Amino acid sequence: MTDWQTLLDDLASGDEARAEAAAIRLTVLPLSALEPLLRSENVDVRWWALRALADFPTSEEVINRLVQALDDPSDEIRQCAALGLCHHPHLQAIAPLIGVLASADSMTAHLVRNALVAIGSPAVPALIELLQSGTPAARLEAVRALSEIGDPRAIPALMAVMQTDSALSTHWAKQGLDKLGLGMLYLKPG
């Protein structure tokens, strides 16, 4: 058995310590070596394959695989893909991440938000649009992402959020406005 096959076997072993040690060392292999594991029916095996993939140097192929995994039926796989995209922020991931931001799974939504924050300013227009058309949960994640990114283009959208009745949304809008140097007392008329 070759050394790389041993690493792949360790990754799929179900033993977290062995899998983690293998994931760290797998970046010396061609990405194609992970393909069978990325297509596995076993969620745990797919998760570890994505975990290993996240350690590979950024490339179009890595980004494509992480973005594809955002469509996986498993919350755990979508979470791992979003976390991987935090380490490989890329413009290509913005639309797919926005699509997953309304996830019913709060951990997935938080990790997707973090990936959008890692992308930064290029994600701002899509996040502003989501503030106007998304579900309440997606809007909350969007306002939080905008507040963390700190892009001046978000000021009008954050000011509009200050006029809503959502305490959490107004909190994050205020945080974002403060970060942008617009710290002041915000009052609702009436």
Instruction: Report how many domains make up the chain.
Output: 1
pLDDT (tens digit per residue) in 97-113: 999 988 778 999 999 99
Which band of pLDDT confidence, cut at 50, 70 and 90, is reported for residue 26?
confident
Query: Is 150 domain-assigned?
Result: yes
Whole-number Å distance between alpha carbons of 126 and 57: 27
Per-position DSSP letters for 99-138, written without gaps between them: HHTT-SSHHHHHHHHHHHHHH-GGGHHHHHHHHHHS-HHH
Q: CB-based contacts of 68: which residues, under 8 Å, 6+ apart?
A: none
CATH number of residue 179's parent domain: 1.25.10.10
Q: How many CB atoms lie within 10 A of CB 155?
A: 15
Does 25 reside within a domain?
no
Q: How confident is the model at residue 7 (pLDDT cuts 50, 70, 90)?
A: confident
Structural domain includes residue 172: yes
Q: For residues 177 and 3, give the distance between their C-alpha atoms in angstroms, rounded to a whole number.
A: 53
* Distance separating alpha carbons of residues 136 and 112, to the nearest angstrom: 16
For residues 155 and 130, the answer to whether their CB atoms sit within 8 Å is no
Per the structure, the complete domain to which residue 176 belongs is given by: 123-190
CA quadruple 33, 77, 125, 164: dihedral, nearest 10: -170
pLDDT level of residue 186 (50, 70, 90 thresholds):
low
pLDDT surpasses 70 at 183: no
Here the tokens at position 137 are: 């949960």
Phi/psi for 17 (5° steps) reads: -65, -45
pLDDT of residue 157: 96
Residue 137 belongs to some domain of the structure: yes
Q: Is residue 161 part of a domain?
A: yes
Which residue from 64, 59, 55, 68 is spatially nearest to 28, judged by alpha carbons? 55
pLDDT band of residue 88 (cuts 50, 70, 90) is: very high
Specify if 183 maps to a domain. Answer: yes
- Quote the mean pLDDT of the chain: 90
**CB neighbours of residue 181 within 10 Å:** 9
- Token look-up 């959008």 returns 116
DSSP 70-97: TT-S-HHHHHHHHHHHHHS--GGGHHHH
Residue 147 lies in a domain: yes
Residue 176 counted as domain residue: yes
